[in-house]
């Protein structure tokens, strides 16, 4: 008796997640940690803006972007609630995420201070590669000074098993910056910048090629792009009707095989 294991779901992301649950292949898991929450507001601006609200808004936006790219997202919180640092680290370790991004906003006594920075525990590992992929995107998106990639012994960086970075998204103590952090546009720009940095690190194609719109295989193409099984060309096209070479087919199959649990990753 033949059994169809493919579940009936509506979106490309839902299909990818369903196949992941069935053990067909492993989706990349990203841990997103919106800092503070609940009774812990984090840093507070002179006008009352609270860090916890900024980090949650950016985190939820970032989650949507990552899921749209075919990644699984584990959030330490999705609402305004208390979550201990230990609980956050335990969650990410239990869920075996591949990357952790902790979101924060800086504060200083000097109200003119303002820059964006990305923290890691120590140099030389995957966390530094992630940080150096995210940091320039943050600078480009905000136009704020580059605070660089820095080292710190933060709990979330130290206690998570996966490579972890902590992003400081400007200074809430700077009135001009605080007014921007309160706007949806700035929050979206921050989420997009972090998403672009993660996408570059993971080798994901951020935007779907323009030449697939309306094509009969558009949905299928979007799925294999989101899953990282196939990629477009450097000029931004996919060329859906161009025949694939045996080498291109082998590369796509190798990427698919690498997603099956227990198989080694492919070497570029």
- What is the reported pLDDT for 258? 75
- E strands along 99-235, which residues? 99-106, 116-120, 146-151, 164-171
CB 131 within 8 A of CB 61: no
If you average pLDDT over residues 28-33, what whole number do you get? 96
From residue 78, give the alpha-carbon distance in Å to each of 29, 97, 170, 250. 16, 17, 22, 40
Greater confidence, 155 or 25? 155
Contacts of 14 (CB under 8 A, 6+ apart): none
| 242: three-class secondary structure by DSSP | coil
> Phi/psi at 111 (nearest 5 deg)?
-75, -5
Domain range 12-202, CATH architecture = 3-Layer(aba) Sandwich (3.40)
User: Which pLDDT tens digit goes with each residue over 122-147?
Assistant: 999 999 999 999 999 999 999 999 99
Residues in the chain: 268
Catalytic residue selected from 51, 72, 137, 168: 168
- What is the reported pLDDT for 120? 99
From residue 105, give the alpha-carbon distance in Å to each of 102, 174, 226, 235, 246. 10, 11, 30, 36, 49
Which has the closest alpha carbon to 224: 184, 186, 197, 253?
A: 253
- What is the reported pLDDT for 261? 66
CB 120 within 8 A of CB 187: no
Which has the closest alpha carbon to 101: 193, 227, 173, 204?
A: 193
User: Which pLDDT tens digit goes with each residue over 228-240?
Assistant: 788 777 677 888 8
- What is the reported pLDDT for 208? 67
Give the residue extent of every domain in the chain: 12-202, 210-258
- What is the reported pLDDT for 29? 94
Angle at 183 between CA 182 and CA 189, to 5 degrees: 115
Active site residue 168: yes
- What is the reported pLDDT for 36? 98
pLDDT exceeds cutoff 70 at 14: no
User: Which pLDDT tens digit goes with each residue over 84-125?
Assistant: 999 999 999 999 999 999 999 999 999 999 999 999 999 999
pLDDT, the chain, mean: 87
Greater confidence, 222 or 142? 142
If you average pLDDT over residues 198-213, what whole number do you get? 79
- What is the reported pLDDT for 119? 99
Percent of all residues in the chain with a pLDDT value above 70, rounded to a whole number: 84
């Amino acid at each position: 008796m033949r059994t169809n294991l493919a579940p009936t779901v509506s979106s490309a992301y839902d299909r990818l997640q369903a196949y992941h649950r069935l053990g067909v292949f492993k989706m990349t898991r990203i841990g997103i940690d919106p800092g503070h929450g609940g009774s812990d507001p984090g840093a507070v601006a002179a006008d009352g803006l609270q860090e916890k609200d900024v980090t949650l808004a950016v985190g939820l936006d970032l989650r949507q972007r990552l899921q749209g790219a075919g990644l699984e997202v584990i959030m330490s919180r999705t609402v305004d609630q208390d979550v201990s640092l230990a609980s956050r680290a335990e969650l990410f370790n239990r869920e075996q995420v591949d990357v952790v991004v902790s979101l924060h906003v800086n504060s200083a006594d000097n109200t003119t201070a303002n820059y964006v920075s990305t923290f890691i525990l120590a140099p030389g590992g995957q966390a530094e590669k992630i940080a150096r992929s995210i940091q320039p995107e943050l600078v480009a998106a905000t136009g704020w000074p580059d605070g660089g990639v820095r080292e710190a012994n933060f709990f979330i960086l130290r206690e998570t098993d996966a490579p972890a970075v902590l992003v400081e998204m400007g200074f809430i103590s700077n009135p001009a910056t605080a007014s921007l952090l309160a706007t949806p546009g700035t929050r979206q720009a921050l989420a997009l910048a972090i998403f672009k940095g993660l996408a570059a690190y993971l080798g994901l194609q951020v935007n779907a090629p323009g030449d697939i719109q309306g094509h009969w295989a558009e949905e299928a193409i979007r799925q294999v792009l989101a899953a990282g099984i196939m990629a477009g060309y450097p000029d931004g096209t996919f060329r859906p009707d161009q025949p694939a070479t045996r080498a291109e087919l082998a590369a796509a199959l190798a990427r698919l095989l690498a997603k099956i649990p227990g198989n080694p990753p492919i070497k570029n």
